[in-house]
């Protein structure tokens, strides 16, 4: 049994065959998603803090 489903295997095969290419702005995308993740964690912590203090019912 393969560890990849059909869609994943098709994508890997296409990449290996040179039909797909990596994005050129990977570093920018990674930085942007890192900022999104950090903002989400701060929001979650803020909500948890309010809940613990009893300000969020």
* pLDDT tens digits, one per residue of 11-50: 999 999 999 988 899 999 999 999 999 988 887 777 777 7
Residues 6+ apart with CB under 8 A from 11: 20
pLDDT value of residue 49: 74
pLDDT at residue number 56: 65
- C-alpha–C-alpha distance, residues 44 and 25, integer Å: 29
Boundaries of every domain in the chain: 24-57
Determine the length of the chain.
Answer: 57
Neighbour-count burial for 1-11, b at 16+ CB within 10 Å, e otherwise: eeeeeeeeeee
pLDDT of residue 42: 82
Tell me how far apart the alpha carbons of residues 20 and 15 are, in angstroms, rounded to a whole number.
5
């Amino acid at each position: 049994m393969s560890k990849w489903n059909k869609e994943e295997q098709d994508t890997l095969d296409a990449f290996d065959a040179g039909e797909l290419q990596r994005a050129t702005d990977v570093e920018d995308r990674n930085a942007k998603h890192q900022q999104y993740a950090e903002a989400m964690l701060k929001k979650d912590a803020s909500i948890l803090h309010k809940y613990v203090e009893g300000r969020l019912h």
